Structure 1
Amino acid sequence: MGTTVKKRETNVDNRPFNVTSEIGNLKKVLLHRPGLEVENLTPELLDRLLFDDIPYLDIAQKEHDAFAKVLKDNGVEVVYLEDLAAETVEMSKVRSEFINQFLDDAGVRGESSREILKEYFADMDEETLIHTLIAGVRKKDIPDFSASSLSDKIDTNYPFALDPMPNLYFTRDPFATIGSGITLNNMRTQVRNRETIFAEFIFKYHPEFKEADIPYWFDRNQDSTSIEGGDELILNKHTLAIGISQRTDAESVETVAKRLLFNEEEPFERVLAFKIPEKRAFMHLDTVFTMIDYDKFTIHSGVEGPLKVYSMTAGKDGELNIVEEQDRLENILKKYLGLEDVTLIRCAGGDRIDAGREQWSDGSNTLAIAPGEVVVYSRNHKTNEVLREHGIKLHEIPSSELSRGRGGPRCMSMPLVRENL
């Protein structure tokens, strides 16, 4: 059965977003420069905070600045999450609402703890407040912090009154720009779900966005299943790929598909759901698969065998047509992207040892700033050599510390505007 929805080819003019591909010329991007939250990582907290190692902040910041410089030098407007958030909470009513929701999502339940933290924040300017919320609050930094409620007393040996947010420099995950709208994501873990609050308040209250008519393809306040931006890829203006992964539920993919495919103002006609193994090493779809040119993709060979692909289109009465594809990935991509040929460029050329090592530092995770032009980590030299052999223009950035967070250039960036192909 075919779609019953007539699609438009252009985006709505009064909306601040336009992303209809992975590879169109990147014009505006959202980043977060790592801060003191990284200094609040300790070995015993790594699992809780979803890290495998502790980056050295000074070097990580220099590496991140080099990343931003590459983008700016290539005509990309770079905006920072922390700056937009500080500008958003300048109104006292918004500031109070933001703090209350932040404490709720941070799991601060004890009334005494909440009041003490609010008093601690009271005299901070907006910039200091945002950086403090991101960095986390050590109990020892609040002289009068005491445990008076039962929940507080149980956690009396825990060093933080408010957990740090070291994953926030991976701005790809809390929300995702698709077409002229966004998915405001419900993230898998509590420690990361707070990250979404920044996007929620920025798009609701910031002067640049508050008057915009932004459609939500997923909304953390309405939808209870999990989805993260690293699983959301825009293959072209008609086709999305969304991973069913360790971090994204199949139900969430269906939610996004229904809202997008039955929306007349968006051009998308098909969602390809990629079922990947639920492993830390294959955390998101973009951990193992990214688009770098019209007909070229990076891939980690470890997912090719177990990969399943389901095609979703708009059917009748608001229901989806869902079909499992019975073909090789190259052929599926050729069919739905209208290509004569597709090249899958394997991490480190598919060598078992080199690929295993470089996949650990996100060798398959690239950020396209134009067709055939990508930002990559310099440390993945075997993969980078293979990319160059396939005619890809590389911007290599230093990455000894950034890569310890287990995310690459695509993970560290959220495109807001790309030119249409």
Structure 2
Amino acid sequence: MAGVNVKSEIKPLKRVLLHRPGDELLNLTPDTLEELLFDDIPFLRVAQAEHDRFAEILRSEGVEVVYLEDLVAEVVASSKDLREQFVYQWIEEAGIRTERYKKIIHDYLEENYPDPKELVLKTMAGINLQELHVNKSDSLVDLVSDTCKLVCAPMPNLYFTRDPFAMIGNGVSLNHMYSETRNRETIYGEYVFKYHPDYKDVPLYYSRYNTFHIEGGDILNINDKVLAVGISQRTEPDAIDQLAHNVFNDPTSTIETILAFNIPNSRAFMHLDTVFTQIDTDKFTVHPGIMGPLTVFEVTSDGNQGLKVRERNEPLEHILEEYVGCPVELIPCGGGDRIAAAREQWNDGSNTLCLRPGTIVVYERNDVTNEVLREKGLNVLEMPSAELSRGRGGPRCMSMPIWRED
């Protein structure tokens, strides 16, 4: 099963990409939370146990779980030259500019992490000055630096594998992310989609080197002909234009329409999938907060390498019904109760992962929303989430489908 195939949010999930939280969470401190996009510090051991339960639920439902760290390790292990290239690129992208420190960090990684997977995990976790045991007597910078200083910052958001890249049909958008902190994460996708034998021939619809930012949480595959993309805090309309050009001009792509949803710009509505996800052929979860004025732009090809854009101001249900092909029901987070909706939205009550029509994985803490979903006939699979939810992302954020059955 080489390549990718994701033409829906709800068709039976067969293979999914995860990243098990690692030591990168141990390098979060109160002083770096804002910079690293966290509101609190998760307890790693419990976060890992919760994540393992997530993977267990997926496997029990017939889904093959693939880990990002394993795919990158397979690439790094395949060639000494590729390993060297990866290490030096990672050092450069970590902001190391002096030749002295490039050599120190390179030698440290080579001496201490000969195993490819351990090397990859270390690049995710980050490096502090204390680990390097440098001779400070010949460097003013080292003498005045705190030994706890992070020389190479961690990537604690990596367990949200949805965002650095996104599968679109049989292709991939390798994203340029909103913050510098997260943009470094896309180096792993670059190596997988450039060099891994199972994924190196996948069409590339967006490059991490493009100017404008876009993130996977804003990309939803409605069906094989329609793609929904959020214009949000983290995805710019310029990026959607570029993505549309590439998708429409790829003869292997079946996408005919891109719906650009202009969603409120706030942390609570970070991505389209935090306010709106499909969970059955005719059902969507939705945050009541976007049910007011929501502008949708319909983007299609003009048949001559260009785009046609039409503004749509009808109710959300009408637009979705047109493209889904049947009447749809929007199920509000928190059952429509404003307090419950705000609380459970903060803990990703609308961020569900659909395994097949009507079967979804959710955070157990959103009990009001989960009960509403059960009453609507959904098969609700609950996972523990006390620590994972501190990163502000739910089951959909933590998973990147690689293959769904057509």
Residue type of the partner of 1:346?
P
One-letter amino acid of the counterpart of residue 236, structure 1:
N
Q: Distance in 1 between matches of 2:219 and 2:132?
A: 40
Hey, what does 1:295 align to over in structure 2? 282
Q: Distance in 2 between matches of 1:313 and 1:178?
A: 16
Does the CA-based 8 Å contact 2:4-2:199 persist in structure 1? no
**1:93 equivalent in structure 2:** 81
Q: Distance in 2 between matches of 1:360 and 1:92?
A: 45
Q: How many residues align?
A: 403
CA 1:318–1:129 in 2, change beyond 3 Å: closer, same or farther?
same
Aligned to 1:141: 131
- What CA deviation, in whole Å up to 9, does each residue of 1:3-28 have, x standing for no partner? xxxxxxxxxxx961101000000000
Match of 1:276 in 2: 263
- Give the distance between the partners of 1:224 and 1:152, measured in 2 at CA: 35
Residue in 1 that maps onto 2:69:
82
Rounded to whole Å, the distance in 2 between the matches of 1:35 and 1:220 is 24
- Is 1:243 the counterpart of 2:233? The answer is no
408, 413, 416: which one aligns with 2:394 = 408
State the Cα distance separating 1:147 from its structure 2 match: 9.6
TM-score (norm 1): 0.92
Contact 1:296 1:342 in 2 (8 A): yes
Say yes or no: does 1:204 pair with 2:198: no
Match of 1:47 in 2: 34
CA spacing shift, 1:263–1:154, aligned 2, 3 Å: farther
Q: 1:149 Cα shift?
A: 7.8
Question: TM-score with structure 2 length normalisation?
Answer: 0.96
Aligned equivalent of 2:308: 321
Counterpart contact for 2:286–2:333, Cα < 8 Å: yes
Higher mean C-alpha deviation, range 403-412 or range 328-337: 328-337
Match of 1:129 among 115, 119, 136: 119
Q: What's the counterpart of residue 97 of structure 2?
A: 109
Q: Deviations over 1:100-156 (max 9, x none)?
A: 211222222222221110010112121221111111111111111659789878976
Distance in 1 separating the partners of 2:308 and 2:144 = 50
List runs of 5+ in structure 1 lacking aligned partners. Answer: 1-13
1:182-261 alignment runs, 5 A limit: 182-210=172-200, 213-221=201-209, 223-261=210-248
Residue 395 in structure 1 maps to residue 385 in structure 2: no
Distance 2:196 2:174 in 1: 16
The 5 A counterparts of 1:2-13 are none
Aligned to 1:118: 106
Q: 1:336 to 1:401 in 2, by over 3 A?
A: same
Q: Deviations over 1:285-338 (max 9, x none)?
A: 001111101111011111222421000011032111100102000001111222
The runs of at least 4 aligned residues of structure 1 exceeding 3 Å deviation read 145-158
- Counterpart of 1:356, as a letter, is A
The alpha-carbon distance between structure 1 residues 154 and 177, as it changes in their structure 2 partners (threshold 3 A), is: farther
- Structure 2 SS opposite 1:88: helix
1:332 to 319, 324, 344: 319
Tell me which moved more, 73-82 or 313-322: 313-322
Compared CA separation, residues 326 and 142, structure 1 to 2 (3 A): same
- 8 Å CA contact 1:110, 1:152 repeated in 2: no
CA displacement, residues 133-184 of structure 1 (integer Å, 9 cap, x when unaligned): 1111111111116597898789767710110111000000000011111001
The reply on whether 1:165 has 2:159 as its aligned counterpart is no
Do the aligned partners of 2:231 and 2:263 also contact (CA within 8 Å) in 1? Answer: yes
Are 2:165 and 1:175 aligned? yes
Amino acid at match of 1:387: L
Give the aligned residue type for 1:61: Q
Aligned to 1:59: 46
Write the distance in 1 (CA, Å) between the matches of 2:84 and 2:235: 31
Q: Partner letter of residue 294 of structure 1?
A: T
Residues 152 and 96 of structure 1, relative CA distance in 2, 3 Å threshold: farther
8 A contact 1:246–1:279 mirrored in 2: yes
Q: Give the Cα separation in 2 of the matches to 1:273 and 1:152.
A: 49
In 2, the alpha carbon distance for the partners of 1:147 and 1:183 equals 47
RMSD, aligned α-carbons: 1.7
Alignment CA distance shift 1:181-1:146 (3 Å): farther
- Which shifted more, 225-234 or 148-157? 148-157
Cα distance change, pair 40–23 in 1 and its aligned pair in 2 (3 A): same
Checking the alignment, whether the CA contact within 8 Å between 1:113 and 1:147 is kept in structure 2 is no
Q: Tell me, in whole angstroms, the C-alpha distance in 1 between the residues paired with 2:265 and 2:176.
A: 18
Deviations 1:31-62 (A, max 9, x none): 00001111111111100100001100111000
Structure 2, unmatched stretches of 5+, are none
Quickly say closer, same or farther: Cα 1:112–1:317, change in 2 above 3 A: same
Q: Give the aligned residue type for 2:362.
A: V
| 1:219-250 C-alpha deviation (Å, 9 max, x unpaired) | 113x2110100000001111110001111110
Counterpart secondary structure, 1:282: coil
- After superposition, the Cα gap between the structure-2 partners of 1:405 and 1:250, relative to the gap in structure 1 and judged at 3 Å, is same
8 Å contact from structure 2 (residues 128, 147) kept in 1:
no
CA contact 2:25–2:41 (8 Å) conserved in 1:
yes
Match of 2:335 in 1: 349
Structure 2 letter corresponding to 1:87: E
Quote the Cα distance in structure 2 between the aligned partners of 1:372 and 1:145: 60
